[in-house]
Structure formats: C-alpha cells, structure tokens
Structure 1
Amino acid sequence: METLISSGIVLLLLFAFLGFGAWVFVSLGLVAFCSLSIILGMPPLRIGSIAANIFYRYASSWELAAIPMFIWMGEIIFRTDISSRLFRGLSPFVDYIPGRLLHTNVLGCTMFAAVSGSSPATTATVGKITTAELSARGYSQSISLGSLAGAGSLGLLIPPSIVMIVYGILAEQSISRLFAAGLLPGIMISALYSGYIMIRSKLDPSLVPSDRPNHTLADFGKALLNLAPLVLLMGVVLGSIYTGIATPSEAAAVGVVASIIISVFIGQFSVRLLAETLMGALRTSTMVCSILITAALMSTAMGYLHIPANVANAIAQLNPSPWALLLLLSVFYLGLGFILDGNSIVVMSLPIALPLAQQAGFDPVWFGIYLVLMVEMAQVTPPVGFNLFVLQGISGQPIGYVARAALPFFFLMLLGVVILALFPQIALWLPNLLYG
C-alpha cells in the first residue's frame, strides 16, 4: 500500500508540473526534489549532493558521449544535401509501396540505428532529416511523427546498442551475442511498422499525396548514387565497431569525421556549415541530456522510495508460472516506463527480474532482447518518453499530440513482444549460429 501511495503521489506531481506548462527537465527535477524532501524528509543539502553526483556521473560518462557526437553527425547530414539525397535515393524504391515516403522514417531509423546505439540520437537525427521533408511534400504529420517515435526506438534494439551493453555488463552476458540477438527482432519490428503504414495508407489515402511519379531504370541508378554517401557513412561507422578499431562512442567521432570528409567531397563543406552544425548539435544535445540527467535524478528518487524493488518482490512472492511471470513482468515494465528512463529501468529492476526469469527457464540472452523491447516502449509512453520529448522539440507540437500519434506504434511493439515470446528463436537463432 505504501508503494502504491508513493507511486500515485509521484505521478500526480509530474502531471501537475507538466500541466502547468513547466519545461520537461524542470518538471522531472521538481518531482524528484519533492519526492525526496516531502515524502522522505531528506534535507536539501543531501538532495543537492545526490544531484551533483548524478550530474558528474553523466557528464563524465564515456558511453553517453556518443549522443552529442551522433547528433552532430546528423546535423551535418541535415545541413548538407545528404538528407535530400536520402529522399531522392529512397523515393524510387518506396514510391510503389502504399505509404510511399512515410517508409523513409522506418528505413532511415533502421539504417541510422545501425550506427547510433542511442534511441534519442536516432530519433533526433532522423527526425531532423525527414520531418520537414515529409511535411513539405504533403504527408500526414500525425503518422509521420508516430512512425518516427516508434522507429527511433530501434536505436536501442539494432546493434550497436548502449542499453544492450549495460544489460550485458549487469547480467554477465556476451555483448557480441546480445548484438547478434537484436538484429532479427529489429528487422521484425521495422517490418511491422512498414506493414502498418501500408495498411493505414490503403484505408486512408489522404495520408499521402496523390501524385505518383513514374521511375525509369536510370532513376534507380541515380537513386543508388544518392544513397551512396549515407551507405558509405554506415559502412565506416559499423566497420570501425565490428573490426574492433573503435568502441561505439569512438565510432561516433569516426562518424563525425567521415561526414565532414563526405561534405568536402560533395563540395558543401564550409566554416559556416561547421559553426551551424555545432550550434544545432549543442541545442539538441542540451535538450536530450538535460532530460536524461533530471530523469536519472527522478529515477534515484524512485530508488529511495523502493518502488521498483517492492513491485518486483511482490511479483516474486506470487510464484507464478513462466507465462504468468512474463505477463506480470510486462505489466511491471510498462508501469515503470511511465516514470523512468530506459537505462534506469534496466539498472534498477535487473537484480531481481533476471533471477526470476532464469528460474522460470528463460534464456538470459532472449530475456535481454525482451527487456530492450520493453524499454523501447518506455521511450514512447508519457510522461517520461524521451522520443516524445525529442519530437516535441523538433516539431513544435504539444506532447499530447505526439503521444497520440505514437500510440499505434506502441501497440505494434507490444505485438512484437508477443511474437518474440511465442517464437524465441527469432532472437536466439543468429547468436547460436555465429557463436554456438
């Protein structure tokens, strides 16, 4: 009962601050402060010390250095004509599919997820590239933002993934096996998104513009040339990771250098471009990181209130069957997704949830992919859905509008979890093939 009351107070405070129009990071910080000071009676100096430690930990985190670097790489792509080349390159291949260029959100996020490892970075980068283009071409903003919110979360699932690295370290599992396990589920989720876009577009043709150009074989050849810079960038970043030359964070810097070199070769590099991309990356990174840090403070407050641990312990005491346990854990993680960020969900729940899953007979590598999918859903659930905040900042639309647009893709992720539970080999086949 105490946990239920504490959770209710925290949610009420968060909705109240957001309802009064406070900035997201301010709302999260105030809720954390109120939780620690009012509910727990912690003195302000102690709270300040906790906040300072969290700020220092995140500011000095080498893994999180990938976020601003990948966003900078996205700014370079966005401010050169590589972004328009992406549309020109994908257009002939998707113009004959229902939904047409709406699929570029899914394909773009899938491709960028393979070089990012971060959901906010994927959402922010691809969102900057596609949102304006789709709007200018007359596509529905609702389904455009919704598909970006859902597909942007693929940065957590398609390797390399920062959350997978965190899980692998905590669960003492091979990160290489986890990376391999995430590939096919990531493609499956992408296919679900594209399938939904096709069905919606068939049912409601007004979602896409009516004009449809005819493409020749020469158009497809030009399309491949237009895609070459982005494909080359993917090859450089992924190659640096999988050959062992660079870590994911170092690969982000490699990507920035490669994108600058590409901009030189296509004749679009300038000092002005460098300054504009740096300022754009600074603004977006500040938005993402300020939310990330205050969400970590709020997560710490939740830890002091023992909300995640108490709920997990309550599940353990029920002694459920494997399928009942999976259902309870799913409800548990969906609940955590309303108030915690993805990394905090993994760190705070795993010491209890993983032993329960292993005792029930679930493979720890499979459970890692399942957990990442649940964390992906947390990225698109208000009030602490990072992808929603990122898209709110990019589009200027209210958070409620973005959340409603993302709702169908949330349910598609839930369907993906069900499919993964019914057919676990989707995640386990590739790591077993590669690593035995």
Structure 2
Amino acid sequence: MNDLAITAALLAALLLILGSGVWVGLSLTGVAWMAVTLFSSRPAGDAMAVTVWGSSSSWTLTALPLFIWMGEILFRTRLSQDMFKGLAPWVQGLPGRLLHTNVIGCTIFAAVSGSSAATCATIGKMTLPELTRRGYPEHMVVGTLAGASTLGLLIPPSIIMIVYGVAAEVSISKLFIAGVFPGLLLAALFSGYIIFWALRHPEQVPAADGKTTFMEKIASSRSLIPVVLLIAAVLGSIYSGVATATEAAAVGVVGSLVLSTLQGSMNWATFRDALMGATRLYCMIALILAGAAFLTLAMGYVGLPRHLAEWIGTLGLSRAQLIVALAVFFIILGCFLDGISMVVLTMGVLMPTVQAAGIDPIWFGIFVVLVVEMAQITPPVGFNLFVLQGMTGRQLTWIAKVTMPMFFLMCAAVALIYVFPGIVTWLPQKMAN
C-alpha cells in the first residue's frame, strides 16, 4: 500500500468517524491509533501516552483555561451589560446609529474574552433585543453581530492564537501584539459597511434618541470604566513586558472577579457556573489538542507532511498562489471542522511548507486566524451561526445569507494584510526593538 493510498484511507476513516457524530478529539485519537498500529512498528499505547501528556502539560497552554474563565465571568455578570449603556450615546450621530454598538461592543469584549462564540453570545444578549425593539432591520442586526463577534478570535487575548502558538511553536505574546492592527482594521471595515448601508437605505434607520450633551455622554461612559481597566491590565501587562501571556491571563481572571464582586453581580451561583462553564469548554479543547497531537505524530510516521510539502513544491506555486490555495483549503475545511480542530490538525503538516516558502510564521498565524474567522460564519459548522440560531430562532440558512457581506469583508482584510504585511508585522517588530 503506497503512501498516497494510506493517507487517503486515513482521511476517509477520519471523515467517516466525524460524520458519525463521535467527538472530534476522540475521532482524531482513533484514526491516529489505527495509523500507528497498522503502519508503524512503535507500540500505539506508548506513543499515545507520551504525545497526549506532552501536548497537555505545556505551561504555555495554561493561559487557555484562564482566558476562557475570564470570558465566562464577564458573560455572567453585569460588566458586559454596562458596555451597551456606555457605548450607545456616542454612536447616535453616525450613519447606522446603534448598529455600531455591535461592532464596537464586540471589539471591546474581544479584548477581554478570546472566544468568538462567547463574544457573540455576550454582545448578542445585550444588543439583539434592544436593537430589535428600537426598529432596526433584523438582517442588519444579526449580520453585523455575526461578523463582528468573530473579532473575539483576532483581537488579543485570543484562544485560537494560543492554540496556534503552541502548535506552531511561535511566541504567543508576539501573536497577541500582531493581532491588534488587523483586528482594528476588520472592525473599521464592518463599521464602514454599516455606514455605506445606512447612507443607501436611510429610511430603514430609526430616528436618533434625543440629543445628548458631551457631558451626558461622558457620564454614560462611566459604565465602561471597569471593562477598560480590565483591558488595560491584561494587555498592558503583556505589551509592557511585565507579564507573559499566561501570567496576564491570571491577572484577567483576578481582575474580573474583583470588578464583578465590587459591582455586586458576583455570587456563589455565578462563580460556580462560570468555573464549570470554563472547565467544560477547556476539557473539550484539551481533548481536541491531545487527539490532534497524536494524529500529527501518526501522520509523521506515514510521511504525509513530507509528501504534502513535496507535492506543493512540484506545483511551482508563487507565494501569492500558495496563500490563495491555503485560504480556499481552510475555508472548505471550516465547513466541516471548528477553528481549533482546523489549526491543531493542519499546523504540523503545513508549517514546514509555509516556512520553506519564506512566509513569516507570525504573519501566517494572523492569516490563519482571519480565515478561521470566516469558518465561524460558514455553514454547516459555523459556531457563531449556531449561537445566533439559538438566540433568534431563525433558520441557519437565513443567518448565513445575511452574514455573507461580513464574509466578503474578511476576504478583503486577508487581501489587505497580504498586500500590506506591515499591518501585521510592524507592531511586533517595534515591540521587539
């Protein structure tokens, strides 16, 4: 049986097991077990034990459950709800008015969350009922929320960046810094689209609330202070070099606990629910990471990374063509796998090829995050679509349709960071100096 046939058989087995509804982590582990048992002389049990322990005991990975816990605390307390009160007065004068609270709210919450689904659920819980009640078109409310909530993956701290950093052996702090400008760029594109739509359809935008003075806006912004302080504490500790990403995650958890307690929205039930929610989510992610690490090892025995690199090398693709091919590959893969599975399943195979093409691994990390963001809003496995379906009761196809403009804006963002790579690389280089 040649290498191509082996690879095809393992891929078919993986798709079959995934399609049968088995958990992603267990599916990856099962296929890896078959590969090691059938095509290697090494005992599968020994290989699995060493690989799973090695992938699960990384100190860098400690940041992941902490950032998830911080997001869960914010999701369940009044800190997130206060953001809408503080933002609303400032966007009344913009074309599109309160629709911008989706984008700005997601941008702010992304800076203290790290999860796209958590950002979508938290901001949606505030803005969906309020904007619908005020008469904003549902397709714009849902579409802009679905797109903007993907910023939870791009604006640091980001769970997917931690996963990529561990899988690709890249500095997580540099990845966090590199995500700032692309995140702001994408937020600006989303707000620009809202302005463009509002200017074309002014009759669909509800009238502004009564005029507010500058001092009244400042007074309303006081509710933003706790969240801004938390962002400053987490990101400031990383960028100043005072703390690593893991230590900053601990700062974020302590800060969110302190602030929610001072606000009076923290009680034992909320604490327990936040802790258990974070534990369940992290266990799911950790199982996927462990399974993918074992599968990566198995693929190494089969020789898939080497053969894939050789095959891509024979195609004679330019750097631009390689990026386009990888973007299409990730978008298609995103129709069937969640973002974390995509990253951990492919990085071991793709990184040698990417490095051989001379692509900066930091830049490539941001590119991967952007493309994974697209997968969050593409059916059938678009996590944000599932979240919004549960919140709105709408059909998945309708939600996907109204989200398509955001998808094309993300494609534009990928094109921009390729043409102007300094959007990604300038800040990490500046901080390094």
Name the TM-score class by shorter chain.
0.7 to 0.9
Distance 1:32 1:171 in 2: 18
Alignment of 1:138-157 (within 5 A): 138-157=135-154
CA-CA distance at 1:420 after TM superposition = 1.0
Percentage of pairs with the same residue? 42
1:161, CA displacement in angstroms?
A: 2.6
Letter of the 1:327 counterpart: V
Amino acid corresponding to residue 196 of structure 1 in structure 2: Y
Give the distance between the partners of 2:396 and 2:57, measured in 1 at CA. 27
Shift of 1:230: 1.9
Change (3 A) 1:55 1:7: same
Q: CA separation in 2, counterparts of 1:361 and 1:56?
A: 28
In 2 relative to 1, CA 203–300 (structure 1 residues): closer, same or farther, beyond 3 Å?
farther
Aligned letter for 2:74?
A: G
In structure 1, the gaps of 5 or more residues are 18-24
Contact 1:55 1:293 in 2 (8 A): no
TM-superposed deviation, 1:364? 2.7
1:236 and 2:236 aligned = no
What corresponds to 1:21 in structure 2? none
Secondary structure, counterpart of 2:111 in structure 1: helix
Cα offsets for 1:370-401 (capped at 9, x unmatched): 12212222222222222223333344433333
After TM superposition, the structure 1 = structure 2 runs for residues 372-391 of structure 1, keeping only pairs within 5 Å, are 372-391=369-388
Give how far 1:192 is off: 0.6
- 2:155 corresponds to: 158
Alignment-derived partner of residue 66 in structure 2: 66
The match for 1:423 is 420
Deviation string 1:51-93 (CA, Å, 9 cap, x unpaired) is xx989978996344135413332234xx43x445322221221
How many positions carry a matched residue from both structures?
416
Structure 1 residues 399 and 300 mapped into 2: Cα distance closer, same or farther (>3 Å)?
farther
Instruction: Give the C-alpha shift of residue 280 in structure 1.
Output: 6.9
The CA distance in 2 between the partners of 1:247 and 1:392, in whole Å, is: 37
Match of 1:433 in 2: 430
What's the CA shift string for 1:11-48, capped at 9, x where partnerless? 79978x8xxxxxxx77869988998999xx99xxx99x
Q: Is the 8 A contact 2:379 2:385 kept in 1?
A: yes
Task: Report how far residue 369 of structure 1 moved.
Answer: 1.8
SS of match in other structure, 2:112: helix
Partners of 1:69 and 1:252 within 8 A in 2: no
Distance 1:209 1:285 in 2: 42
**Shift in CA distance, 264/345, structure 1 to aligned 2, threshold 3 Å:** closer
Decide which moves more: 392-401 or 334-343.
392-401
1:145: Cα distance to partner?
A: 2.7
Please, which moves more after superposition, 139-148 or 53-62? 53-62
Change (3 A) 1:206 1:355: farther
- State the SS of the aligned residue for 1:115: coil
Stretch moving more, 323-332 or 293-302: 293-302
- Partners of 1:134 and 1:281 in 2: CA distance: 31
Aligned to 2:41: none
Residues 188-337 of structure 1 correspond to what in structure 2 (within 5 A)? 188-205=185-202, 207-242=204-239, 248=245, 251-252=248-249, 254-266=251-263, 268-269=264-265, 271=267, 274-276=268-270, 278-279=272-273, 282=276, 286=280, 314-337=311-334
Give the alignment's TM-score, normalised by structure 1.
0.77
Correspondences of 1:71-90 after superposition (within 5 Å): 71-76=71-76, 79-80=77-78, 82-90=79-87
Task: Determine whether 1:167 maps to 2:161.
Answer: no
Distance 1:28 1:405, change over 3 A: farther
1:280 and 1:430, CA in 2 relative to 1: closer, same or farther beyond 3 A?
Answer: closer
Could you list the runs of 5+ residues in structure 2 that have no partner in the other structure?
39-43
* Greater mean deviation of Cα atoms: 351-360 or 185-194: 351-360
Structure 1 counterpart of 2:163, one-letter code: V
Aligned equivalents of 1:312 and 1:420: distance in 2?
24
Distance change (3 Å), C-alpha of 1:405 and 1:64: farther
Change (3 A) 1:252 1:367: closer
**Is the Cα–Cα contact under 8 Å of residues 66 and 248 in structure 1 kept in the other structure?**
no
In 1, Cα distance between the equivalents of 2:287 and 2:133? 35
Contact 1:54 1:293 in 2 (8 A): no
Q: Please provide the CA RMSD for this pair.
A: 4.1
Residues 211 and 166 (structure 1), Cα distance of their counterparts in 2 relative to 1, 3 Å cut: closer
Q: Could you tell me how far apart the structure 2 residues matched to 1:421 and 1:311 are? A: 23
Mark the CA change 1:328 to 1:83 in structure 2 (over 3 Å): closer, same or farther. Answer: closer
What do the CA deviations read for 1:239-287 (whole angstroms, capped 9, x no partner)?
4444566655564554444344334544x3464xx4256447756975x
For residues 334-353 of structure 1, the aligned pairs below 5 Å read: 334-353=331-350
Which residue of 127, 130, 134 maps to 2:127? 130
Deviations 1:193-212 (A, max 9, x none): 11111112222346542344
Residue aligning to 2:368: 371
The SS at the match of 1:116 is coil
Aligned to 2:91: 94
**8 Å contact from structure 1 (residues 114, 159) kept in 2:** yes
For 1:57 and 1:173, how far apart are their aligned partners in 2? 15
